[in-house]
Amino acid sequence: MTNPLSEAGRSSRATAPCVLVIFGATGDLTSRKLAPALYNLGRDGLLPPNFICVGFARRKKTNEDFRQELKGDVSSFSRSKPVDELFWSHFQEQLFYHCSEFDNDEGYRALATLLAQIDSKYGTRGNRVFYLSVQPKFFPMIIEKLRKFGMIYDAHKTKDKWSRVIIEKPFGHDSASAEELQTQIAQYLHETQTYRIDHYLGKETVQNLLVFRFANSIFESLWNSNHVDHIQITVSEDIGIGSRGHFFEEEGLLRDIVQNHMMQLLSLVAMEPPVSLSAGAIRDEKVKVLQSVRPIAEGDFVRGQYAPGFIDGQGVCGYREEKDVAPNSTVETYVALRLFVDNWRWAGVPFYLRSGKRLPKRATEIAIVFKDAPGVLFQQNGKKHDRNVLAIRIQPDEGISMKINCKVPGPSSPIQPVKMDFRYGSYFGAAPPEAYERLIWDCMTGDSTLFARSDEVFHSWKILTPLLEAWAAKGAQDLPQYASGSWGPEEANTLIAKDNRSWRKL
Ligand code: BG6
């Protein structure tokens, strides 16, 4: 597996022997994403020859229990099925379980001993990846204890082995808390050891954005305010919050999706070409986009909350009826906004972003909508033709399509928009690896290109924290409900309609 978005990826990178310790090993993310990712990396021969995974969690269980559970997770959630029994019989020998509370010194002391034993028995050479798949409030404590018990090394002094920490999102709750969290962890962890994960960056289609923009000469000259009318970014999900009531009540949609996934998409689509493919060069350009975003004006953002409705013909409850959600909750499950990137390339081009739960379908898309062609030749009865649209489908049905106007065959010559369509699935004929596979592998090889740097996170919070503050001040006021299965509140349509534009039909 090579990463086209890194210099290192162009020569083949090798993973060094290491131990991966997953904090929160009995949680949902481990079951659905991490266990299948490790299994598939192993099957594809991408794990290092000397590799061990240790699950760290509070529930008591044996290594054997842990192995059985992970096998169940793999058989339910892996992209490749059924479980390859022969491979699994070897792979499971590399899985261990360690039970401890996150605040218990004894648990960390015992972990350090276990890891030392693993090093001498399995040749993992002291190299460590710690994956923090826990509630954000535990991040500083775990990192401090790992350092205290010698498992996070001094990045400057230790050269013969390495330690890296993958931190799940959200990184902070707003501008102030993100900076405070960074200050806390920076006492123990150097930036080069910090891997802030945003799994969207591990998606093949997201990585392809830069290849598409900068490996094709035809787009770059059009990619600016001279030719682009506006850009729409949509992250729509038909699912509700499921069993994540506690999490969602804390976070809401802006923190869950917009602050990270959508801001990453925005940065990648709007950035200047980087000077090289190094992690630093790419992240520098992404940060400049965020720095150029004009403060979002009052009236340029709306929120909503899903009410009961129908998804695929099935009745579903409203957000306030979900488990672990307050009956008078004011947490948003939908956000739409308009923002401007005030730089030479994008001055005056609106970026419309929308995301929500319980919308009619799952679809993530970036649409570049080009300006109208002058109507002098082909306008029919004063009616404008459709604008050219380059639609980059991040998921599902990953691909890229271009809407162009075309002459319908025959003498009357009406003009009709048609689509040129590229689909990953049918062209490459294979399911792309899951985002988590790529990102875990990148971390093991020491490539942080596809992880968020601290300044990216801070700038993103800086743009969005005023929205959170405005909503907190309003409480339940201006919190429209939208029927589950609809495209969100009417206020979102008004937001874009005031510019004489409309949301794309997906
Ligand atoms: C996660 C969010 O980061 O991304 C979830 O916490 C969301 O709320 C999920 O459902 C979407 O991920 P994907 O890969 O299915 O688009």
Q: In which band, very low, low, confident or very high, does the pLDDT at 10 lie, cut at 50, 70 and 90?
A: very low
Work out the average pLDDT over 80-93.
Answer: 95
Nearest partner of 440 among 96, 42, 98, 145, judged by Cα = 42
Confidence (pLDDT) at 58 = 94
For 100-164, give the DSSP string: --TT-HHHHHHHHHHHHHHHHHH--TT-EEEEE-S-GGGHHHHHHHHHHTT-S--TTT--SS-EE
Q: Is 434 in the pocket of ligand 1 (CB under 6 A)?
A: no
Ligand 1 atom closest to Cα of residue 237: 10
In this model, does residue 152 exceed pLDDT 50? yes
Mean pLDDT across the stretch 146-158? 94
**Residue 12 has what pLDDT?**
56
Task: Give residue 414's pLDDT.
Answer: 84
Alpha-carbon span 330 to 402, nearest angstrom: 39
pLDDT for the residue numbered 464: 98
Mean of pLDDT values over 429-446: 90
Atom 13 in ligand 1: residue holding the nearest Cα: 200
Burial pattern 270-292, b for ≥16 Cβ within 10 A else e, equals bbeebeebbbeebbbbbbbbbeb
| C-alpha radius of gyration, the chain, whole number | 24
- The strand pair at 163-167 and 194-196 is best described as parallel
149 burial via Cβ count (<10 Å: 0-12, 13-18, 19+): middle
Parallel/antiparallel/unpaired status of strands 314-316 and 309-311: antiparallel
The model's confidence at residue 200, banded by pLDDT at 50, 70 and 90, is very high
For the chain, the average pLDDT equals 93
The pLDDT of residue 459 is 97
Per residue in 229-242, pLDDT (tens digit) is 999 999 999 999 99
From the CA of 395, give the closest atom in ligand 1. 16
User: Which has the closest alpha carbon to 36: 448, 433, 450?
Assistant: 433
| Lowest-confidence region among 315-319, 390-394, 430-434, 475-479 | 430-434
Q: How far apart are CA 220 and CA 228, in angstroms?
A: 12
Q: Are 398 and 423 in contact (CB under 8 A)?
A: yes
237 touches ligand 1 (CB under 6 Å): yes
- What's the gap in Å between 26 CA and the centre of ligand 1? 19
Q: What is the pLDDT of residue 432?
A: 77
- Structure confidence at residue 7 (pLDDT): 44
pLDDT bracket for residue 379 (50, 70, 90):
confident
Helix or strand or coil: residue 406?
A: strand
Cβ-count burial of 14 within 10 angstroms (0-12 exposed, 13-18 middle, 19+ buried)? exposed
Average pLDDT over every residue of 287-298: 97
Looking at the CA of residue 256, tell me the nearest atom of ligand 1.
6
Q: Report whether pLDDT(349) > 80.
A: yes
Residue with the smallest CA separation from ligand 1 atom 10 is 237
Residue 101 corresponds to which amino acid? E
In the chain, % of residues over pLDDT 70:
97
Nearest CA to ligand 1 atom 4: 257
What pLDDT was estimated at residue 9?
Answer: 47
Q: For residue 73, how far is its CA from the centre of ligand 1 (angstroms)?
A: 18
The residue type at 137: K
Q: State which of 204, 234, 257, 394 you would mutate to test the pocket of ligand 1, scoring each by most atoms of that ligand within 8 A of its C-beta.
A: 257
Work out the pLDDT band at 1, boundaries 50, 70, 90.
very low
- Residue corresponding to tokens 């999490």: 247
pLDDT of residue 135: 87
Average pLDDT over residues 327-353: 98
Ligand 1 pocket, 198 CB below 6 A? Answer: no
Average pLDDT over residues 70-82: 94
User: Would the pLDDT of 84 be above 80?
Assistant: yes
In ligand 1, which atom is closest to the CA atom of 251? 6
Check pLDDT > 80 for residue 6: no
Cβ-contact 487, 361 below 8 angstroms: no
Q: What pLDDT sits at residue 81?
A: 87
Using an 8 Å Cβ cutoff, are 330 and 478 in contact? no
What is the mean pLDDT of the segment spanning 53-67? 96
> What are φ and ψ of residue 360, in 5° steps?
-65, -25
140: which 2 tokens? 């500083």
Q: What does the pLDDT read at residue 374?
A: 84
Residues 90-111, mean pLDDT to the nearest whole number:
97
The contacts of residue 243 (CB under 8 Å, 6+ apart) are 28, 323
Residue 319 pLDDT greater than 60, yes or no: yes
Nearest-atom number in ligand 1 for the CA of 247 is 6
Kindly tell me if the per-residue pLDDT of 140 is higher than 50.
Answer: yes
- Which pair of structure tokens corresponds to residue 182? 């960074």
pLDDT of residue 261: 97
Q: In this predicted structure, what is the pLDDT of residue 8? A: 42
Nearest to 445 by CA among 143, 56, 3, 22: 3
Could you tell me the distance, in angstroms and rounded to a whole number, from the CA of residue 113 to the centre of ligand 1?
36
The yes-or-no verdict on residue 158 having pLDDT over 70 is yes
235 C-alpha to ligand 1 centroid (Å): 9
Which residue CA neighbors atom 6 of ligand 1 most closely?
Answer: 256
User: 298 and 475 in contact (C-beta within 8 Å)?
Assistant: no
**Ligand 1 close to Cβ of residue 256 (< 6 A):** yes
Burial group, residue 327, by CB count within 10 angstroms (0-12, 13-18, 19+):
exposed
Q: Based on the residue annotation, tell me whether 230 is a catalytic residue of this protein.
A: no
Distance 381 CA to ligand 1 centre (A): 46
Q: Torsions phi, psi of 310, nearest 5?
A: -130, 135
State the catalytic residue, choosing from 98, 173, 261, 459: 261
The sheet that has 128-132: what strands, in order across it? 95-99, 51-57, 18-23, 128-132, 163-167, 194-196
pLDDT on residue 5? 53
Six-digit token string for 212 = 């598409």
Looking at residue 503, its pLDDT comes to 98
Residue 239 alpha carbon to ligand 1 centre in Å: 10
